[in-house]
Amino acid sequence: MSEQPGVLGRIRRLFARRVPERLDITRSDLAVVVESFDDSEACSTALDRGAQDAPHWAESDDAVLRHHLELPAEAVEEALALAGQDGYVAAAPPSPVPSEDGVTRVSLILQRVQLLDAMHCAQEKSRMASLAQRLGGDARGWDALQPE
């Protein structure tokens, strides 16, 4: 394709620019920049704290948002399938959690890359709490990672 002069050429060059790559969740330099394991804490409060404490949360950069769930072992596949529709993947294989009620429970961490702000964080926190509850489990909290 030859370079086109004028407005049409500028428009094509503008749209041909590379879209920035998403954050790679396998990077070795990712660190927890904000976390909340208190159901009563607002996401905005946690994010404000994350912006103040080192390592600092950078609002304008992608983050790996992770939700920590505790589920019955038999619900893991369904949780992965449902959350997978929204781009979530397991951060690690589920690990057993001691249970007093005789139900085999596991800890599952679901993660995805996104720009993180208070509104979207609250929506995702609510979504994960609902998912866990539907499957007979609990959402324990969330954290976010960014490069150090």
Convert the pLDDT of each residue in 45-86 to its tens digit.
Answer: 999 999 998 999 999 999 999 999 999 999 999 999 999 999
Rounded Cα distance between 141 and 64, Å, is 14
Q: Compute CA distances 33 → 6, 15, 46, 122, 148, whole Å.
A: 46, 33, 10, 17, 9
Can you give the pLDDT at residue 4? Answer: 63
> Looking at residue 100, what is its pLDDT?
81
| Domain boundaries along the sequence of the chain | 24-147
Strand, helix or coil for residue 54: coil
Closest CA to 142 of 25, 50, 78: 50
For 44, the token pair is 């905005």
Q: What residue ranges of the chain have pLDDT lower than 50? A: none
Task: For the domain made up of 24-147, give the CATH fold.
Answer: Alpha-Beta Plaits (3.30.70)
Residue 82 in contact with residue 131, Cβ under 8 Å?
yes
